[in-house]
Amino acid sequence: MHATEGKTVDCFHAGLCLTARLYRMGERAVVLDANITQGEQNGSNPLENIITVQRRLWWMANKLAGREGLVDVVPGMNNLTLVFDPLASKHPDWLDVLGNHWEFGDEALPEAQTITLPVRYGDEYGPDLTAVAAHSGLTEREVIDLHTDADYLVMFLGFQPGFAYLNGLPEQLFMPRKETPELSVAAGSVGIGGSQTAVYPFASPGGWQIIGRCDKTLFDPQREPASLMLPGDYVKFIAVDTL
């Protein structure tokens, strides 16, 4: 199989057929991408599909973590990446392992908590709030109301320690990432990137539109668990005047 080729595997869940694409990424990673299922199922709610798919990926990630020869198991947004040691003595074809787990898998329902995050929107804390308002054709107030009214689900952690990718951003607020990432975004920044929203636990370069700032400690290596938000948790933003 040429590196750029992939294959597809179906799984069935509650009468739904969910299709995932499997492919290799270089010599030491394989990817299962179920994003092609979104909005393509007959008569089903695409949003529910996204969550159903993600629950299946959480189950797979739990099941595969710690397997001999696996370096990392990384859930993404409706996708799962396995990084492996290509020189490991015990060496299954990890692409097949992904396919089998998808086809015959189950759903994980982690114990959920609801986390409230106070956010100071706009001004120097959210320099791109104006741009998001302009892009969406809303006022800044309406952007804030939409962002705080929604209920969010933690889909996965990535990008930085404790950085939670949240599902549930109202469609009016979708906005592309910046053409060139900023060299530095402040810790606690609340951003919008495409159809996703999140808070940056640490200062870093970043390509998302920054609409506000939150001062909660999102990641503390001395805490157990180190990350405040974990996959399956619910998140609510509230607007505050001061941090």
Q: Which is nearer to another protein, 6 or 170 (CB)?
A: 6
For the bound state, the minimum distance from the C-beta of residue 69 to another protein, rounded and expressed in Å, comes to: 12
Q: What are phi and psi of 31, to 5 degrees?
A: -130, 135
Residues 200-239 that bind another protein (CB under 8 A): 201-205, 207, 219, 221, 226-227
Span of 12-20, 94-102, 118-126, 199-207 interacting with another protein by CB under 8 A? 199-207
148 binds another protein (CB under 8 A): no
Taking alpha carbons only, the member of 133, 68, 115, 83 closest to residue 232 is 115
37 binds another protein (CB under 8 A): no
Other CB atoms within 10 Å distance of the CB of residue 87: 8
Contact pick of 18, 56, 75, 168 for another protein (by CB under 8 A): 75
Span of 7-15, 97-105, 108-116, 193-201 interacting with another protein by CB under 8 A? 193-201
Q: Which two tokens stand for residue 207?
A: 């390509």
Q: What are phi and psi of 153, to 5 degrees?
A: -115, 130
At 65, which amino acid appears? A
Number of residues that bind another protein (CB under 8 A): 60
Assign residue 176 a region: left if phi > 0, alpha if psi is -120 to 50, beta otherwise? Answer: beta
157 binds another protein (CB under 8 A): yes
Residues 166-185 that bind another protein (CB under 8 A): 174, 176-177, 179-181, 183
Cα 227 to its chain centre, rounded Å, is: 15
CB of 169 within 8 A of CB of 196? yes
27 binds another protein (CB under 8 A): yes
For the bound state, the minimum distance from the C-beta of residue 123 to another protein, rounded and expressed in Å, comes to: 26
Taking alpha carbons only, the member of 190, 173, 168 closest to residue 134 is 173
Distance CA 220, CA 206 (A): 21
Contact pick of 94, 102, 121, 163 for another protein (by CB under 8 A): 163
CB of 82 within 8 A of CB of 94? yes
**Residue numbers of the site for another protein (CB under 8 A)?**
3-6, 23-29, 31, 33, 35, 61, 65, 71-81, 83, 86-87, 156-163, 165, 174, 176-177, 179-181, 183, 193-196, 201-205, 207, 219, 221, 226-227
